[in-house]
Structure 1
C-alpha cells in the first residue's frame, strides 16, 4: 500500500479559533518538525533503565528512579477517600510500599511471569499492588470492582491467575462463590488486618508488615509481559491483550505530548484502573513523568468533581465523554461558581467527543476539551488534539510523533491499499513498531494475526483524514450502517441529534429494511425538564433530517431513560442492536448502566 502522508500544520483559516494564551508553554509547539525528527530510540534516552544496563522495568521508571533522586519527597499520589479521608504518598513512600509488596509476593512463592489480578475500588492498595507486582516481574491484570462473579472468574481463568488482591467485602460477594473452579488461584490477598484460617487467604497488613522495604528489581527484558488488559468482543469470551514492560516509553512520551504534563503539574485521570486508561494514564504516565497524581475514590458527581478541581488546584484533567455530557446537563453556570483558574489542559477519551462538548468546555471552563483516540490494543494514545494546536471539534486530532497512521481499504486478496484522497472513508491503520502495541491476545494467536496486514495494524475503526492531516472518527467497522448504498457512521448522526437542546445522549444503530438494506434508528436520553412524547419525537426527526438530509437521518427514534454503557463510558450500540433484533447479547461483563 502507499505510504501515509506526513501530517502537516493546519491552516488557520480552516480551524476553530481558540485562545493562544498559555500559562505554560506547551511541550509540543513545533508539531510538524517534531513529527519528522522523532525516533523511539530518542524517547528511550529520556528513561533511566535498570541499574547496570539490566533492561527496563515499568515500576523502576514510574517510581524507583524518582525515589532515588531529587523528587524523592515530592507527592506522587494524593488519595482522596469518599468518606473524607486523605493520604499522600511521596515517591520515596511509594517505592518502599511497592518494594514491600514485591517482597510479599516472593515470600509467597510467586514467580516472575505469574499473573496477579487486582480487584478493588480506587484504594491506595490498588496502586501499591500493581506497581509492586511489576517490580516482582509478575504480570498484572486490573479488574473492575463492579464486575460480577462470572466476569471475574472468566478473566482469572483465561489469565491463569495465581494471585488475586481484593477486599474482604468484594471477596465474599463476588469471588468466594466461584473460587472453587479457579484451580490455579493459589493466593487471595485481602486488604485489611483480619486473620484467616484458610491457608490460601492472606491479610494485606500481615504480609506487608513482615516484608522488607528494600527490593532490587531483577533484570527485566523490555519485551517481558507486564500487563494483561481484557477487552470484550461482540460475541464470545473477552480477549486478553498482552502489553510489555517496554510500553512505558509510550506512556511517558504520550504524557508529555498528548496530555502536556509539566514537572510541577497536579494531574487527575478520572478513569478506573480496571479500564486500560486508568492504568496507562491513571497510574503509569503521570508517575513516569514525575508529577503529582490525584486519585479520587468516589464515583462521578459533578459538583464533587468541581470541588476536587478547585481544592487540589488540578492543572491537567483527563476524563470521559460520558462524564462531560453529564456535566453539560447541569449547565455552565454551575462550573463558573468554582475557582478553576489552575486548570490548564483538559482531555477526553473513551469514545468520540461530540463537537458540542468541545465548544461547551470552552464556554464553561474557558478552555476546550481535547479529544484523543486509542484502544486497549494500542496501549497508549495514538492520535490527539494537542495543547498548542487548534482543535477541529469532533476530530480525533493528529497522530503523535512516532505514530504513522493511514486510512486504508481492505482488498479481496487479503491486502490493503492506502486512501490518499481527503475525507474518503476507510479503516484506520497504524504502522507497527510503537512500544505499547499489544504483543498478542493471550492464547489466541490466530485472532491476533488477523489484526495485521503486513506492517499495518488494522484497528477496526472507520475514519477519514482531511487535507490538514486531522483524523475524523466514523464508527466501528461492525457499527457502520448501510442504507440504499450509503455508508452511515453512527457518530455523525448522534452528534446531530445532540445539537438539539432536549437531547442529553444519543445512540444510533441500523435495523434491516427490505427496500434499502438498513434504516437508521436512534435511541435518545433527554435532559432534565424534557418529557418524551410524540411531538418531541417528530421534532427530533425533523431536526436530524434538516441537519443530515433524508439519506442519513434516522427514520425511527425511541426514548430511553438511560443508554447501556460500559464502565469506561462507551455506549453499547451492539447491545441495543441485539435487543432490537433479538440477537445474542454477547459479553455483558463490562455493562455499567442499562435501561431495557
Structure 2
C-alpha cells in the first residue's frame, strides 16, 4: 500500500523549537550556536562543563538531572549539583591514580549511576571516555581496549571476574581498574571505587580542553575485520545540544527517556550529553525491555520526549495498541526512533497507540549526532528519514570511474547518501587507521556507505547499505523496501531480506521472517506471504523464497544483521559478531 503523509496541524507543534524549517536552514550558523553555550571559564570547550557545570553556575543546580530506576523499582535521584559533585569526585580519583589528559578511560557497566558519573568525570579530567557494551565477552573487550590503549577501566566486580581477569595480562596499557560493587578485598591492580570516591574532594577545576581535543571514542563494527574506533572531540557538544533541541524538540525542564544503552553512540550522545546540555531530566531504567514496564515508566515519570529503537517499537506492536491505552500517556509530546530505518507501518501505529507518529531520524557512529530527521513541526512521510538538520548539507551522489563524485539532480534516483564535512560532531579519525578514514571522503563529501533517494520535497528515503543492495535480473532491490512490505502483513513481526546467488538472475531475493506471538509457521502461510509480497511489490522485487525464524540476528542497537543472515545462508565467514544482541562472544 502507499502510505499517506501525516499532516501536522498548528496545534501539533505549538511551542516547537523548530517552527519554520526553511527559515532555520537559511539563517543557521554552527559558530553562532557555539557562542550560545558557556565555554570554560578560562577559555576552551568541554562537554561535561556544558552538560552540568553551566547549569550549576546559572543557579539551576537544584534541578533534577538524572533519575535511575533499578530493576526492583528503587529510584536514585541526582540534581545537577549532585551530578557535578559526583563527577568532580571521579575526576579527582582519576587524577590521583595518574590518569591524565587525552588518556582513555573505558567503562564496562550496565545502566548504573556510576556509568553516567564516570562519563562526565572522565571528560572533566580531560581524559577520553569510551563505553563498552555490558554484554561483550573477553575477546571484543580485548580488541577495543587494545586499539584504544586503555589507561583505566571502570567495571562491576562481576564483569571483572568473568570478562577482564582472564585477559588482564594481555591489556598491556591498562594501568588501573575501578570496581563499582566491590564486596571483598579488591584484586591486585584494582580498587574499590566507592572507597576512592568517598575519599575524594567534590571540588575539581575542569581541565582546560579545546574544541578539537579528543573527548569520546566509539567503536563501530565492520562486516569483517577488526572494529573501528571513531574519534570525537569536545566540539561535538555543539551538535549534541543543537540536534537535541531541533530534532528531538528538547526544552529545559523536559522529562526525557532515551532507551539506548550508553555502550553505543546513541546512549552517550542522546542518553547523557544532549538532554543534560538542554537542561532536561534524564530517565534511566536498569531493567530490560518489558512492554507494561515501559508504559508504566512513561506514565509514572511523566515522560515528555521519548527516544527509542525500531526493535522496541515492533515489540510494543506485538503486544497491541490496547496495552498502551491502559496508561495515562498525556504528558508525552514527541516520540522518535533511531538504530535502523523505521518501517512505515510502525510510524503510523504510533497514531493508533499514542495519538502521534514516531519520528524517524538518521545518523551514524561516524557522524556523532543526528543528521536527517522528521521534525515536530513538519509533516511526516512514513518510511522517510526526513530532511537534513539546519547546518547539514546532504545529497545523493554516484561514484564514477576515476574517483569522480557526481550529484543526482533528479528526484527518487538511488545513490549514495553523502554529507558535506564541517558539522561539529563529525568523527575526526578512525584511531590509528588514517587510510581507512581517508577512504570515507571524496570530492568534498563524506560518503556514508548508505544508499538512499531524495524526493521532490527534499525528504530522504533509506534503501540499504551499499553492500546490502540486491542486484536481480538488472533490477536494484533495496532490502528495506521488501522488509517494509512484508511487515504490512498481520502475521509478521520482523523481516530481514538478502540476495542469494542465482545462475540466471544473478541474485534473487530471500526473506527471513519472525512471526508475531501465537502465529504458527506453516507452508500455507509461507505461500500467502509470497503472494502478498508479489502483489505489493511486483514479481521483479518480491522475494522468491521465505524462511521462518524464531528470532532474527540483531545488534544491541536494534539493527537486523543482514550480512549475518547471508553469511549463514551461504556458509560464508560471519565476521565480527561482537555487537550481536543475543549471543555473547
TM-score normalised by L of structure 1: 0.96
Question: Counterpart in 1 of 2:478?
Answer: 489
Partner of 1:547, secondary structure, is helix
Is 1:27 the counterpart of 2:23 in the alignment?
no
- Please give the alpha-carbon distance, in whole angstroms, between the structure 1 residues aligned to 2:582 and 2:86: 35
Is 1:305 the counterpart of 2:306 in the alignment?
no
For structure 1, which segment, 385-394 or 150-159, has the greater mean C-alpha deviation from structure 2 after superposition? 150-159
Number of corresponding residues = 582
Equivalent residues in 2 for 1:327-342 (5 A)? 327-342=316-331
Is 1:501 the counterpart of 2:490 in the alignment?
yes
Q: Aligned-pair distance for 1:343?
A: 0.2
Question: Counterpart in 2 of 1:208?
Answer: 197
1:284-321 C-alpha deviation (Å, 9 max, x unpaired): 00000111110111111111000000000000000000
Question: Counterpart in 1 of 2:94?
Answer: 105
| Aligned CA-pair RMSD | 1.3
- Are 1:75 and 1:88, in contact at CA under 8 Å, matched by a contact in 2? yes
2:456 aligned residue (449, 467, 481): 467
Is 1:38 the counterpart of 2:44 in the alignment?
no
| TM-aligned CA distance change 1:38 to 1:563, over 3 Å | same
- Please give the alpha-carbon distance, in whole angstroms, between the structure 2 residues aligned to 1:24 and 1:213: 41
- Please give the alpha-carbon distance, in whole angstroms, between the structure 1 residues aligned to 2:251 and 2:186: 49
Q: Aligned-pair distance for 1:21?
A: 2.2
Partner of 2:508, secondary structure, is strand
Question: Counterpart in 2 of 1:545?
Answer: 534
Partner of 2:330, secondary structure, is coil
- Please give the alpha-carbon distance, in whole angstroms, between the structure 1 residues aligned to 2:248 and 2:186: 47
- Are 1:261 and 1:289, in contact at CA under 8 Å, matched by a contact in 2? yes
Partner of 1:542, secondary structure, is helix
1:557 aligned residue (546, 550, 556): 546
- Are 2:38 and 2:54, in contact at CA under 8 Å, matched by a contact in 1? yes
Question: Counterpart in 2 of 1:8?
Answer: none
- Please give the alpha-carbon distance, in whole angstroms, between the structure 1 residues aligned to 2:272 and 2:139: 27
Equivalent residues in 2 for 1:399-548 (5 A)? 399-548=388-537
Is 1:130 the counterpart of 2:119 in the alignment?
yes
- Please give the alpha-carbon distance, in whole angstroms, between the structure 1 residues aligned to 2:479 and 2:314: 17
- Are 1:565 and 1:594, in contact at CA under 8 Å, matched by a contact in 2? no
- Are 1:578 and 1:584, in contact at CA under 8 Å, matched by a contact in 2? yes
- Please give the alpha-carbon distance, in whole angstroms, between the structure 2 residues aligned to 1:275 and 1:302: 22
- Are 1:195 and 1:202, in contact at CA under 8 Å, matched by a contact in 2? no
Is 1:274 the counterpart of 2:263 in the alignment?
yes
Question: Counterpart in 2 of 1:56?
Answer: 45
- Please give the alpha-carbon distance, in whole angstroms, between the structure 2 residues aligned to 1:240 and 1:262: 32
Q: Aligned-pair distance for 1:195?
A: 5.2
- Please give the alpha-carbon distance, in whole angstroms, between the structure 1 residues aligned to 2:364 and 2:177: 30
- Are 1:23 and 1:344, in contact at CA under 8 Å, matched by a contact in 2? no
Is 1:288 the counterpart of 2:277 in the alignment?
yes
- Are 2:4 and 2:382, in contact at CA under 8 Å, matched by a contact in 1? no
For structure 1, list consecutive stretches of 5 or more residues without a partner in the other structure: 1-12
- Are 1:79 and 1:124, in contact at CA under 8 Å, matched by a contact in 2? yes
Question: Counterpart in 2 of 1:378?
Answer: 367
Question: Counterpart in 1 of 2:155?
Answer: 166
Question: Counterpart in 2 of 1:241?
Answer: 230
- Please give the alpha-carbon distance, in whole angstroms, between the structure 2 residues aligned to 1:405 and 1:163: 38
Q: Aligned-pair distance for 1:153?
A: 1.0
TM-score normalised by L of structure 2: 0.98
Question: Counterpart in 1 of 2:69?
Answer: 80
For structure 2, list consecutive stretches of 5 or more residues without a partner in the other structure: none
1:343-395 C-alpha deviation (Å, 9 max, x unpaired): 00000000000000010001100011000000000000000000010000000
1:581 aligned residue (549, 570, 574): 570
| TM-aligned CA distance change 1:525 to 1:20, over 3 Å | farther
- Please give the alpha-carbon distance, in whole angstroms, between the structure 2 residues aligned to 1:421 and 1:197: 64
1:140-175 C-alpha deviation (Å, 9 max, x unpaired): 100110111111111111111010101001111111
1:121-147 C-alpha deviation (Å, 9 max, x unpaired): 000000000110000011110011011
Q: Aligned-pair distance for 1:194?
A: 4.0
Question: Counterpart in 1 of 2:208?
Answer: 219
- Are 2:186 and 2:192, in contact at CA under 8 Å, matched by a contact in 1? no
Partner of 2:77, secondary structure, is strand
Is 1:117 the counterpart of 2:106 in the alignment?
yes
| TM-aligned CA distance change 1:193 to 1:530, over 3 Å | closer
| TM-aligned CA distance change 1:536 to 1:205, over 3 Å | same
- Please give the alpha-carbon distance, in whole angstroms, between the structure 1 residues aligned to 2:186 and 2:255: 43
Question: Counterpart in 2 of 1:10?
Answer: none
- Are 2:213 and 2:234, in contact at CA under 8 Å, matched by a contact in 1? yes
Partner of 1:185, secondary structure, is coil
- Are 2:51 and 2:277, in contact at CA under 8 Å, matched by a contact in 1? yes
For structure 1, which segment, 78-87 or 543-552, has the greater mean C-alpha deviation from structure 2 after superposition? 78-87
- Please give the alpha-carbon distance, in whole angstroms, between the structure 2 residues aligned to 1:23 and 1:480: 37
Q: Aligned-pair distance for 1:46?
A: 1.4
- Please give the alpha-carbon distance, in whole angstroms, between the structure 1 residues aligned to 2:351 and 2:164: 45
